[in-house]
Structure 1
Amino acid sequence: MLTTIGFDADDTLWHNESFFRLTQDRFTALMADHCPPEHLHERLLEAERRNLGAYGFGVKGFTLSMIETAIEVSGGRVPASVIGEILASGREMLEHPVHLLPHARATVTALAADYRVVLITKGDLLDQERKLAQSGLGDLFDGVEIVSDKTPEIYRAAFARHGTGADQGLMVGNSLKSDVLPMLTAGGWGVHVPHGLTWALEQADPPTGHRRFHEMADLSGLPDLVCHLAQGHKT
């Protein structure tokens, strides 16, 4: 049986990574006098990886990592005006309008008519709540989970609360590492919908050959896939 459909949010239902890339480009320009772009990007990624345990995922952690990187690569000589620009960039990201990806509304609406649909996203609580409210999709979901990370245990708990268990659930998202692989480990289906931009820390190899793994170019084909799986043609 397939009873519950889980959706990732960022870069699955609405644009997200593109705003991070634009802000990183702005950060690179601000730090041009202190560090070459390639080295700066490496140091920023190191800071982000190091800080995930303390700051979590999202804009606030990214902003703090940029500030930390600016201080490190400049030997503590980065001007206060540059720190101010970095903070302003982070604030702009938190205020940026939500732009839905193609087929997002139609797909969630179609599946909500016959299945329990759940939003499972990680990141900053206030920012994710803001984006969900602005998206206009909030009323379509039977449940919303904003989590600090995505693990098999998180998926088992979420699909038990909002559905009939992970083994009767499907998770769709743009990240193999967060949306697909842990859901497969939890016993459910995982559907990968690649996005043109993927954060380096979210990259992973596809589980080619796994009987519950599927990949599609966009969300438009998801209702047909769910119907196919629900009818028992492939388990």
Structure 2
Amino acid sequence: MSTVYQGTDTRLDRPVAIKVMDPRLAADPSFRARFEREARSAARIDHPAVVDVYDQGESPTGAGTGLGGDGPLLFLVMELVEGGTLRDVLRARGALGVPAAFAVLEQVLAGLSEAHRLGLVHRDVKPENVLISRTGEVKVADFGLVTASAQAGASTAGMIMGTVAYLSPEQVATGDADARSDVYAAGIVLYELLTGAPPYTGDTALSVAYRHVNSDVPPPSQIAGEVPPELDELVLRATRRDPAARPADA
């Protein structure tokens, strides 16, 4: 849905990340309105475990910039995190083990907690949206972008479903999401950190989505023997199919 560039804020002389939205999304007036509103909401989250949003804007055309064709150019300017994503770490290391899983997830939950306190929902918590800096800081990225896309209409929602491996049953069934949907996704991420893979995989997105709706997530100790019962219980509580049975927020 976007391309990210490294840039320089010439006024404050600092490196930044510039996320330029896909031209097909930028051309949709309802997406532009929601994108602006979501960016404003995301900028309210002031927490070290959440990527800072510095600016948001729109140019009438991307022509001549090399960034976005000749339609409107829609962009978000954010804190630049030098490092990689949690997905990169999982690819390189596989299962992280209990202490490292705790170290990562504690920060993810701290960032989500601040968002939930403000009444904001991420909707797309997954390893690709968790950034880890070279100094070991953990930061949640991309608040509100999925919300803007999903609510802009069915024409773009299909592009934006996010990674189906982390979607809560209610998001699959109705598209609705609240703080408990983020809790579910964080539970799936914790399962993956402990075992090296998400609980459900399949040949098609639809088959994976079906498993979220119809199956209970198994305890991670079935695969990773060193996981203690308390951590099994946390994963199972966070990933209950009934949102009311999960913790209310991060």
Q: Which TM-score band applies after superposition, normalised by the shorter structure?
A: under 0.3
- Greater helix fraction, Structure 1 or Structure 2: 1
TM-score by structure 1 length?
A: 0.22
More strand per residue: 2
